[in-house]
Amino acid sequence: MALPTAPGSPLPAVARGGGRRKRLVWTPSQSDALRASFEQNPYPGMATRQQLAQAIGVPEPRVQIWFQNERSRRLRQHRRESRPWPGPRGPREGRRKRTAITQSQTAVLLRAFEQERFPDFATREELARETGLPESRVHIWFQNQRARHPAPG
């Protein structure tokens, strides 16, 4: 079957490998803290995300995803109201430090990639356990790998 090439292309879940991470439900105080931080800077760097994550007791990758989604909502709202989006203001904060993935870790990931290009959450966690890498980095590795090594056919 034809694999997706368009952004956000629809595809049956079965073709994607199934189960997602269990959906988070923010408490009111967590939402307040996230929104307050967003008003300060919609493009937080690793240090800010880590500090916020620690403060509200959630993993940093969940905070990063929240900011991505919140920016999308705000951008769409601004576009709808024909208002300009300020974009990043001030000096950019530092990114996450580039993760050094070893040859043996790459070998494990590559083997898994050959079996399944869209590993579900359980599989990604298993790979994280095997490699010692964070699940979020495994997730990103698969995204980059899919983008740079399209499935033949």
Partner DNA sequence: CCGCTAACGTAATCATACC
Partner DNA sequence: GGTATGATTACGTTAGCGG
Interface with DNA includes 51 (CB under 7 A)?
A: no
> Nearest distance from residue 24's CB to DNA, in Å?
4
128-5-103 Cα angle (round to 5): 30
What is the Cα–Cα distance from 107 to 141, expressed in whole angstroms? 12
**Which of 29, 54, 72, 77 is in the footprint of DNA by CB under 7 A?**
72
Give me the 78-117 binding string for DNA, x by CB under 7 A, dash otherwise.
Answer: -x-------xx---x--xxxxx-x----x-----------
Interface with DNA includes 2 (CB under 7 A)?
A: no
45-59-53 Cα angle (round to 5): 55
CA 89 to each of CA 92, 99, 149: distance values in angstroms, whole numbers, following the listed order: 8, 27, 35
| CB contact at 8 A, 117 and 146 | yes
Q: Which residues bind DNA (CB under 7 A)?
A: 4-13, 16-17, 19-26, 43, 45-46, 62, 64-73, 75-76, 79, 87-88, 92, 95-99, 101, 106, 118, 121, 137, 139-148
